Amino acid sequence: MSDVDRSFTYSGSQTTHGETYFVTVAVCNDEGCSTPGLATVVADKQVDGDYTVSNLGVSVGADGVSWDLTWTVAGDTTDVSMWHICWSSDDFDAANMPSDCADSVAADQTSANVKMPTAVVNGKSYYFTVVGMDNRTNMDAAAYMNEAQDVRTVDNSNVNDGNGTIGDTTDDASAGIPMYAWGMIAGVVVVAFVVGAFILSRGDGEGGEGKDWDY
């Protein structure tokens, strides 16, 4: 242990929840060790308290793209620091509960809002449960308590989405031309007419000969 080390974590796989362990710590060097310090610690590997979560309700949120969840809690929740909402597209039991339970609320709350998946699958069922987590990140496990369906529908109201041929339109192309542009277009047409007349007139010399066409 270096001179900056002040803590050590013992593998949880070698401890039993609730058991008391005695720890001795001494400072040692080439000359020997100091008088050991003695301490005790109780292994904390699960959420304590005999609590229950029941009456989990799931309904479509007001925004139409999320679920509102409510539940009832009974028993001792003093060791619960937050509630995690675990859900999956497949049903599950406590042994196979989803490991990624990102949605959570504080321990004093009994409701939550969960966003639906981005992909819309109308009629698809999703399965939910609520479990407690303590301040050591120990989280309980439970089978799913309720299910809900994706009630969203894909919007196909715009029948022209993705249809038609490039350049094919029923709009009047002239409608998008500003008024000042019409004057410029008219001027170009007049100039073209005058220049054309001038070119033609050069071929009409005296006697109708002696002039070459300039185009």
Which CATH number is 82's domain given?
2.60.40.10
Tokens of 47: 């959420």
Would 22 be classed as within a structural domain?
Answer: yes
Do 32 and 82 lie in a common domain?
no
What is the helix (H) or strand (E) element at residue 197, kind and residue range? helix 179-202
Do 92 and 37 lie in a common domain?
no
The tally of domains found in the chain comes to 2
Residue 203 confidence (pLDDT): 53
Q: Are 107 and 55 a contacting pair, CB within 8 Å?
A: no
Would 40 be classed as within a structural domain?
Answer: yes
pLDDT tens digits for 103-153?
999 999 999 999 999 999 999 999 999 999 999 889 999 999 999 999 898
Q: Which amino acid is at 88?
A: S
Tell me which of 131, 149, 167 is where a domain ends.
149
Do 8 and 78 lie in a common domain?
no
Residue 94 confidence (pLDDT): 96
Do 59 and 126 lie in a common domain?
yes
Residue 154 confidence (pLDDT): 80
Better-predicted residue by pLDDT, 84 or 137? 84
Do 7 and 77 lie in a common domain?
no
Would 69 be classed as within a structural domain?
Answer: yes
Tell me which of 149, 179, 198 is where a domain ends.
149
Tokens of 193: 């007419």
Return the closest-CA partner of residue 126 out of 55, 63, 59. Answer: 59
Would 192 be classed as within a structural domain?
Answer: no
> Can you tell me the distance from the alpha carbon of 159 to that of 139, in angstroms, rounded to the nearest whole number?
49
Would 191 be classed as within a structural domain?
Answer: no
Would 108 be classed as within a structural domain?
Answer: yes
Do 3 and 69 lie in a common domain?
no
Would 3 be classed as within a structural domain?
Answer: yes
Residue 10 lies in domain: 1-45
Write down the residue that tokens 């031309």 correspond to. Answer: 177
Would 211 be classed as within a structural domain?
Answer: no
Do 68 and 4 lie in a common domain?
no
Do 35 and 97 lie in a common domain?
no
Strands across the sheet containing 111-115:
51-60, 66-75, 111-115
Do 65 and 38 lie in a common domain?
no
Secondary structure class of 103 (helix, strand, coil): strand
Tell me which of 149, 164, 197 is where a domain ends.
149
Contacts of 23 (CB under 8 A, 6+ apart): 38, 39, 40, 41
Distance of CA 65 to the CA centre of its chain: 12
Do 41 and 63 lie in a common domain?
no
Residue 45 CB burial class (10 angstroms; 0-12, 13-18, ≥19): middle
Do 130 and 81 lie in a common domain?
yes
Contacts of 44 (CB under 8 A, 6+ apart): 17, 134, 136, 138
What is the helix (H) or strand (E) element at residue 85, kind and residue range? strand 82-88
Question: Does residue 189 have a pLDDT over 70?
Answer: no
Bridging pattern class, strands 32-33 and 37-42: unpaired
Do 73 and 131 lie in a common domain?
yes
pLDDT tens digits for 27-72?
888 888 888 888 888 777 689 889 999 999 999 999 999 999 999 9
